[in-house]
Amino acid sequence: MKNLVKFLSFAALFAAFTTSCTEDDPCKDVVCGDFGSCNEGVCECVYGYEQDADGLCNTTWAAKFAAGPNAPAADTVFGDNGPSSLLYNMTVSVVDSVNLSTTNLSGFGNSNVVDMEVTSSYDLLINDTDVTGRVFNGTGTISGSEITLNYTVTYSDNTVDTCETVITK
């Protein structure tokens, strides 16, 4: 009887291990790129990256927002005197996977540098002060080849302009 119990215990353990070893690993043949890992057969990209056309996590969110040099931009400024329009060129450069740097935002000149943080594959935050003390706060989105920024500019005398900038990549 003692041998029968040992045999049945051994058989149960053998069956459990044999069954689990023959199951397919859902990540066995999945390649996720340099900035991703496989979870249950699906690639999960690290923060700041997304899958490219090949399914690899090698595309930074910020790269989608890069524009220029001298990308056409159109501003609508909603100031105290009503809306006004301004056409100019600007550059949106990639700093790293989630950070951007712009020059000439709002047409203030190429020495005007404003940094932005990309918070998802389609969204960004603007919260920076340029060298002259103008404070930029707002958000942005990307759709196709257009980047739309909605933000305020607060000047040193505390006056505020509300702006919408559309950048064409």
Domain boundaries in the chain?
Answer: 24-61, 66-168
What phi-psi label fits residue 138: left (phi over 0), alpha (psi between -120 and 50 degrees) or beta? left
Print burial letters for 78-90: b (CB count within 10 Å at least 16), e (below 16): eeeeeeeeeebbb
Rounded to two decimals, the pTM is 0.79
**Residue pLDDT, tens place only, 25-60:** 999 999 999 999 999 999 999 999 999 999 999 999
- Say how far apart CA 157 and CA 17 lie, in whole Å: 74
**Residue pLDDT, tens place only, 79-122:** 777 788 999 999 999 999 999 999 999 999 888 899 999 999 99
The predicted model gives 153-158 an average pLDDT of 95
Query: Which pLDDT value is given to residue 2?
Result: 53
Does domain 66-168 fall into CATH 2.40.128.420? yes
